[in-house]
Amino acid sequence: MFKNLHESTYMNPFDDTYFMKKALQEAELAFDKGEVPVGAVIVFNNQIIARAHNLTELLNDVTAHAEMQAFTAAADFLGGKYLKDCTLYVTLEPCQMCAGASYWTQIGKIVYGASEPKLGFSVLKTKLHPKTKLISGVLEEECGYLLKKFFIEKRNLN
Amino acid sequence: MFKNLHESTYMNPFDDTYFMKKALQEAELAFDKGEVPVGAVIVFNNQIIARAHNLTELLNDVTAHAEMQAFTAAADFLGGKYLKDCTLYVTLEPCQMCAGASYWTQIGKIVYGASEPKLGFSVLKTKLHPKTKLISGVLEEECGYLLKKFFIEKRNLN
């Protein structure tokens, strides 16, 4: 019985929700800087090897999405440019650019939180790498809430 | 008659071919470094404000395509993150990532040389910004020749 408890997924603290919470913490850092609050982490062997949040305003660079920075940082950490055995956790569905970048990384898995029905990669049919698994809707509500809060506050300021 | 000569487009040294030659010079720099030879320049008011070539091997980063670096450099030069009045010249048809990045830059015009029938943005139907004009096939043969030469040499080395 004790063995069963250990083997059950219930006991595994390193599930998709756990890592998405870490990505959400990154999104909150973006929020605090006045950036569109999107955060990402990249995980390899249950270890976070890259953390990033959207910095397009601060860096004055539309390519500075959380995912792009995370891909670069993860490859730097691993010393190889492919991320075949890694998982990207990102609070918002990736755009064409970030999904296109993920193709080149050959990343093993992408897990995202909130959907992006207008400019997300799935509605725009961006091609993922054939080896990339996809999971959506993890902590969807929490991820989406932070984005809604950001845009409501921004609207009220203008 | 003299005035007419000056006014003719024939006398304008700043045409698409002129700037594509500059992009090709960048591609040659990539070739010399053993990188897939793709080069790009970004032009604003007939002035080159960014030059870049593919550095994915050297930087160990699949996102280090010529266009991505050029977008970042051009925005840095202009001090604003949009490139509405700029033109990107790139020797190879952009991929999904780079075309997706161009969407965010709202770049005015994209001019490319050789086509990429497998992973180019046009066959994969990546969405460009509605204000982005597109011209293809400028110095197509020269741009394609350098790529072919690179892959033939690489094959012979292995």
ipTM: 0.91
CB contacts of A68 in chain B (<8 Å) are 63
What pLDDT is attached to residue B13? 76
> Which residues in chain A belong to E strands, given as ranges?
39-44, 47-53, 86-92, 109-114, 133-136
Lay out the sheet containing A39-44: strands in order across.
A47-53, A39-44, A86-92, A109-114, A133-136
Residues in chain A: 158
What pLDDT is attached to residue B1? 45
- B5 pLDDT above the threshold of 90: no
Judging by DSSP bridges, how do beta strands B133-136 and B86-92 pair with one another?
Answer: unpaired
CA distance B89 to chain A (A): 18
What pLDDT is attached to residue B139? 98
Q: Mean pLDDT throughout A26-47?
A: 98
CA distance A17 to chain B (A): 28
Which of these ranges, A116-120, A139-143, A153-157, B92-96, has the smallest mean pLDDT? Answer: A153-157
CA-based nearest residue to A121, from B103, B69, B60, B71: B103
Instruction: Please give the C-alpha separations between residue A130 and each of A67, A77, A134, in angstroms, as whole numbers.
Output: 19, 24, 11
CA-based nearest residue to B95, from A94, A106, A65, A104: A104
What pLDDT is attached to residue B90? 98
Give the HSE-up count for residue B21: Cα atoms under 13 Å, Cβ half-sphere: 5
- In the structure encoding, which two tokens stand for residue B146, read together? 């350098």
CA distance A146 to chain B (A): 22
Q: Given an 8 Å threshold on Cβ–Cβ distance, is A61 in contact with B75?
A: yes
* Buried/exposed B80-110: b ≥16 CB within 10 Å, e otherwise: ebbbeebbbbbbbbbbbbbbbbbbbbbbbbb
Residue with tokens 């998405």: A20
CA B88 remoteness from chain centre: 5
Distance CA B113, CA B124 (A): 18
CB contacts of B81 in chain A (<8 Å) are 56, 60-62
Judging by DSSP bridges, how do beta strands A47-53 and B133-136 pair with one another?
Answer: unpaired
Give chain B's largest Cα–Cα span: 60
What pLDDT is attached to residue A95? 98
CB B111 within 8 A of CB B20: yes
Confidence of residue A9 (pLDDT cuts 50, 70, 90): low
Confidence of residue A14 (pLDDT cuts 50, 70, 90): confident
CB nearest B126 (choices: A81, A82, A126)? A126
- A153 pLDDT above the threshold of 80: yes
CB nearest B81 (choices: A62, A68, A82)? A62
What pLDDT is attached to residue A1? 44
What pLDDT is attached to residue A146? 98
A/B interface, count of CB pairs below 8 Å: 91
Q: Mean pLDDT throughout A10-15?
A: 75
What pLDDT is attached to residue B4? 53
Q: Is A82 on the interface with B (CB under 8 A)?
A: yes
Residue A79 or residue B11, greater confidence: A79
What pLDDT is attached to residue A130? 98
Give the HSE-up count for residue B56: Cα atoms under 13 Å, Cβ half-sphere: 20
Confidence of residue B8 (pLDDT cuts 50, 70, 90): low
Q: Is B86 on the interface with A (CB under 8 A)?
A: no
CB nearest A71 (choices: B63, B100, B125)? B63
Distance CA B107, CA B87 (A): 7
Q: Is B23 on the interface with A (CB under 8 A)?
A: no
Residue B8 or residue A93, greater confidence: A93
What pLDDT is attached to residue B24? 98
What pLDDT is attached to residue A90? 98
Q: Searching chain B, which residue's CA lies closest to the CA of residue A61?
A: B81
What pLDDT is attached to residue A71? 98
- B17 pLDDT above the threshold of 50: yes
- A100 pLDDT above the threshold of 50: yes
Q: Mean pLDDT throughout B106-129?
A: 98
- Residues pairing with B112 in the sheet: B90, B136
Name the pTM for this structure.
0.92
Q: Mean pLDDT throughout A11-18?
A: 85
